[in-house]
Amino acid sequence: MDLICNVKPKACYNRLYVELWAPSKLSFCVDSRLPVTQDIIKFYELSFDCNLMYGRLKYASMLYCIGQYDQAADMLNHCESLLGPDVAHYCFCTGRSYFHQPETIDRKTLNTSTVELLNTSSTLCVKFCKHELRVVPEHLQFEMYRTQTQNDRNERKNELHIWMDMVVIDCVPFLYYLQYLVYSQKGNLPRRLLAMFNLMDYINQSVYAEIRKGKGDYETIAYRGEPKGHMDSALHVLAHCWELENRPDVAWHLYQLSIDLYPTNNIARKHLVNLTNKQVLLK
């Protein structure tokens, strides 16, 4: 946490350029059926200097959404290579805060600037505002509408919960989810399944899932330990993977587990309704 507290505002100017300008220009290009221009690409690349994976994952998400799957796969593979035991993970969202700062970070601060540490040794949860929906995978866009009922609104604490009006997901599950989507489009079954299993392993650090083999048996999922960061969003994207694998029963349990963890301001209920409607239409 000390690492983040020492950040100077100037270090994230490039990230703000990406969030405020590049998505708007990209939306114009998409709506006008124009090719993505090099200036948009350059603005995304400028954001790489703000954090280890934040800007790179947004860039990979943009590439996926415009159908540039080979380039997206390359960027995601690079992001995965940046992960390691010496990487710090932070989330400052009220109700989802999470801090994991290895001891190696404390030692690095003696000889390395804060900006360089942010660029090389830390990750933050990824946020997308409403004008960035063009660069967000469709299933993940639902996270922006998590506040559905009056009870949801009563649970919110004004500006402290402003993040609930955004799409927010932690870097590591977002990485694996994007890999799953990209390799699905590329028809690469081994890499697709590896991405999904990596996502499952990440979630298993807070959630225990046991798959029972045998006809007629259902998956049993039980909560274990304290959830870290945006575990609800991670569960939702994993559930989507299982939906795409034609296993709505597993997806159902994952959505239900998300509701058990966070009963309010949780879009999982909407996903359950959509999942039920899909199954009714298939019958």
What is the predicted pLDDT for the residue at 210? Answer: 40
- Strands 122-124 and 88-91 turn out to be parallel
Is 155 in contact with 265 (CB distance < 8 Å)?
Answer: yes
Q: Supply the range of the domain harboring residue 197.
A: 2-282
Query: How many structural domains comprise the chain?
Result: 1
Is 128 in contact with 169 (CB distance < 8 Å)?
Answer: no
Angstrom distance (rounded) from CA 174 to CA 167 = 11
Is 241 in contact with 199 (CB distance < 8 Å)?
Answer: yes
Instruction: Tell me the two tokens of residue 127.
Output: 């946020």
Angstrom distance (rounded) from CA 132 to CA 175 = 18
Is 98 in contact with 81 (CB distance < 8 Å)?
Answer: no
Taking only the tens place, the pLDDT of each residue in 158-176 is 778 899 999 999 999 999 9
Residue 218 in this model has a pLDDT that exceeds 90: no
133 pLDDT band, cuts 50/70/90, is confident
Q: What is the mean pLDDT of residues 136-145?
A: 95
Angstrom distance (rounded) from CA 89 to CA 4 = 10
Angstrom distance (rounded) from CA 235 to CA 224 = 14
Residues 6+ apart with CB under 8 A from 35: 29
Instruction: Tell me the two tokens of residue 191.
Output: 């890499």
Q: Which amino acid is it at 113?
A: S
What is the predicted pLDDT for the residue at 189? Answer: 97
227 pLDDT band, cuts 50/70/90, is low
Taking only the tens place, the pLDDT of each residue in 77-110 is 999 998 888 888 888 898 888 877 776 666 666 5
Angstrom distance (rounded) from CA 266 to CA 12 = 29
Q: What is the dihedral of CA 150, 151, 153, 155, to 10 degrees?
A: 170
What is the predicted pLDDT for the residue at 6? Answer: 40
In terms of phi and psi (left: phi > 0; alpha: psi -120 to 50; beta: otherwise), the region of 147 is beta
Q: Which amino acid is it at 122?
A: S
Angstrom distance (rounded) from CA 275 to CA 247 = 11
Residue 13 in this model has a pLDDT that exceeds 70: no
Window from 10-14, 45-49, 108-112, 272-276 with minimum mean pLDDT: 10-14
Angle at 204 between CA 201 and CA 207, to 5 degrees: 155
Taking only the tens place, the pLDDT of each residue in 40-53 is 787 777 777 777 78
Residue 10 in this model has a pLDDT that exceeds 50: no
Is 117 in contact with 11 (CB distance < 8 Å)?
Answer: no
263 pLDDT band, cuts 50/70/90, is very high
